[in-house]
Structure 1
Amino acid sequence: MKRGIIGIVILIAALIFVAGCAASNKGGNQQTEKVKLYLYGAGTLAKPFKEVIGEFEKKYPNVTIESQFGGSVKMVKQVTELHQPGDIIAVADYNVIPKYMFGENGQTKYTDWYIGFVNNSITFVYTDKSKYANEINSTNWYKILSEKGVQIGRSNPNTDPSGYQTLQMLKLAEKYYKDPTIYEKILANAPEKNIRDTETELLSSLEAGQIDYLAIYKSDALQHHLKYLDLPAQINLSDPKYANFYKEAVVDTKNGELSGKPIIYAITIPNNSKNTEWAIKFVEFLLGPDGQSIMKKNGFGVLEKPYANNVDKVPAELKNFVSEWPKQ
């Protein structure tokens, strides 16, 4: 009889142990299952995002993030037109997301929200090899860049936000300095041969002295320890308080007319993501103190509280990180 009771006790203990292990495994699956996320980002996000990805993968060793960086419009179209797998999309101009992903004008709807997580400004960088490097400053820059023989690099305004933001900045400079020739004269020194899909592709040409100046984001200037022009906030597209002035700068591109807006980088998760839960965790990490610290270290402006459009559509896990997008 005693042996029977002991046997029953051992059996019950074994069942409890097995059940406990099963429950433990169920709770741990999230940390042990292998996950691959696909991220597409603006070219200027390559350096900081590689750091963010590295820290995220350390925190979650079961996750691997495959990333690709380039012109923001081109990166979005990897998902919307080429139908590549995509879990996270981050662009240098928040307007790119609603334009190509919100499903307007009969397009397929890929998302209905985005979060602005850092800001930036447009500038020109140069080196000691650049023509007039010892003379140029934030007051005379537009005169120097108009000089005959100066070679200027820029990105493609049809594929990359910094390309059309550079054009918008030059339009604003004409108004700010009351000189209607700035746009035409400077672009005469930035011909087609000096254009690439993303401006970071021209950094080696700048270092080699093949071009003298490069239109680029301030964050890149700081990351690459380059000399740069500290342009007025009224024209460098950095400050939301000048939004009404910025929108007066309208430029033509193959994607239609584009008016100037504050440079705010935005991120979203396509609704056809196969790993939405983990994509949300990545955005959480990016918006959290560790992610924002990396962005700040790399020269980006950190927002007091990231902006979100359609807050009610933002995943519940991210809502505490965001505030309503400022009205303009």
Structure 2
Amino acid sequence: MFRKIVVGVALLAGVVSAQNCFADEGTVKVLYAGSLVNLMEHGVGPAFEKQTGLHFEGYAAGSKKIANELKGKLRQGDVFISASPKVNDALMGAANGNQVTWYVTFAKSPLMIGYNPQSRFAHDFQTKRWDEVLEEPGIHIGRTDPKLDPKGMFTLELMKKAATLYGKPDLVQKTLGDEENPAQVLPEETLVGRLQSGQLDAGFFYSTETSDLKIPAVAPAPELKAQANYTLTVLSDAPNAAGAAKFVDFLLSAQGRDLLKAHGVDVVKTTVSGDAQAVPTVLKTAVESKQ
């Protein structure tokens, strides 16, 4: 009797395992930079599902945070979309587990200073230079962690350049405080919500966020230019490599690129970095240079 129960449980486990495998084959897990939440969840994801019949499962966070989770085996995915090519480098090579062997740069998005139109500082952003407004007493500023997110790093770089350009050696300290200032540093995926709810008066966002979500924004002077350079790749240990390839193919297709443009992302000529020979054969045409 006991043996029959054991066999029955084993058979049931096999059925469940088979069902889970089948479910995994129908799901593509996309790990992406938090600045692309609206684009991925309301644009690309639904369109991909309609086009392929596969299920899109997204996870948004700072690009460096995702890379750290991948290196620490805390998270697994099929596709990785980063806001900075350098993040991919941290996942390449034997020392980093060879989780990334190639990646494609496909879009960019300049850094902007976005503000809440209901904020008492809104009029000042429309009439004064943005750095002067950020120095005003009582303003609540939001930004991301420079250790976990490229946007946070770009923010620091932008402010340091502004300090030099405008002859204000104490600008960074007066506006941002310490690099890890807990009063300002927030998870990338929550920054927009904090601004829209009025918890923040202003923050640093990519143009895809300000354009897509109708956030009033000020563009820094050309000399201060900082931007996200979006990349994507199929992770080496992707559970659903075939589905991942279909997602990359879709995102780089005419339909995918139109969606990127519609959500305020600047599409650029695709370039392959890393081991070009490792690009799956089914994606060779998709990743070839195109504008």
State the TM-score, normalized to the length of structure 1: 0.74
How far off is 1:193 after superposition? 2.2
2:236 equivalent in structure 1: 271
Q: Percent identity?
A: 25
Gaps of 5+ in 2: 1-23
1:246 equivalent in structure 2: none
Q: What secondary structure is seen at the aligned counterpart in 2 of 1:194?
A: coil
What is the alpha-carbon distance in structure 2 between the residues aligned to residue 302 and residue 139 of structure 1?
A: 31
Change (3 A) 1:46 1:204: closer
Gaps of 5+ in 1: 1-32, 239-262
Check conservation: 1:138, 1:231, Cα contact below 8 A. no
CA RMSD of aligned residues (A): 2.4
How far off is 1:219 after superposition? 1.0
Check conservation: 1:306, 1:321, Cα contact below 8 A. no
Q: What secondary structure is seen at the aligned counterpart in 1 of 2:246?
A: helix
Q: Deviations over 1:39-61 (max 9, x none)?
A: 11111112112221211211222
Structure label with greater radius of gyration? 1
Of residues 166, 172, 187, the one that matches 1:183 is 172
State the TM-score, normalized to the length of structure 2: 0.82
How far off is 1:138 after superposition? 8.7
Q: Deviations over 1:281-308 (max 9, x none)?
A: 11011011111111111111111x2121
The reply to whether residue 307 of structure 1 matches residue 277 of structure 2 is no
Q: What secondary structure is seen at the aligned counterpart in 2 of 1:192?
A: coil
What is the alpha-carbon distance in structure 1 between the residues aligned to residue 25 and residue 98 of structure 2?
A: 28
How far off is 1:34 after superposition? 5.0
What is the alpha-carbon distance in structure 2 between the residues aligned to residue 204 and residue 279 of structure 1?
A: 29
Q: What secondary structure is seen at the aligned counterpart in 2 of 1:130?
A: coil
How far off is 1:89 after superposition? 0.6
What is the alpha-carbon distance in structure 1 between the residues aligned to residue 198 and residue 26 of structure 2?
A: 44
2:40 equivalent in structure 1: 49
Check conservation: 1:92, 1:266, Cα contact below 8 A. yes
The reply to whether residue 208 of structure 1 matches residue 173 of structure 2 is no
Q: Deviations over 1:85-124 (max 9, x none)?
A: 311111111210111x1036x3311121111111011111
How far off is 1:323 after superposition? 5.6
User: 1:300 is matched by which residue type in structure 2?
Assistant: V
1:64 equivalent in structure 2: 55
Structure 1 residues 10-89: aligned runs within 5 Å: 34-50=25-41, 51-61=43-53, 63-89=54-80
1:92 equivalent in structure 2: 83
Structure 1 residues 227-238: aligned runs within 5 Å: 227-238=216-227
How far off is 1:80 after superposition? 2.3
2:146 equivalent in structure 1: 157
Check conservation: 2:36, 2:209, Cα contact below 8 A. no
How far off is 1:267 after superposition? 0.7
Of residues 215, 225, 228, the one that matches 2:214 is 225
